[in-house]
Amino acid sequence: MQIELESMAIEMPEVAGHPNRERFRGVLTLVDVPSDRSPAGARGHRVVLTRSAAEAALPSLLGMGLDYSPTLDRHDTRRKVGMITGAEIVGKKLELGGHLFAKDFPEIVEAVRGNAKIRGALGMSYEIADARVADMRAKFWTLTHVTFTGAAILRRDKAAYRETWIALEGR
pLDDT band at 113; cut points 50, 70, 90: very high
For 115-171, the pLDDT digits (tens) are: 766 668 999 999 999 999 999 999 999 999 999 999 999 999 999 999 999 999 865
**How many whole angstroms separate alpha carbon 30 and alpha carbon 51?**
9
What contacts 59, CB < 8 A, 6 or more positions away? 8
For 11-31, the pLDDT digits (tens) are: 777 888 899 999 999 999 999
For 65-97, the pLDDT digits (tens) are: 999 999 999 999 999 999 999 999 999 999 999
What contacts 43, CB < 8 A, 6 or more positions away? none
**How many whole angstroms separate alpha carbon 45 and alpha carbon 140?**
6
Please report the pLDDT score of residue 12 as a whole number. 77
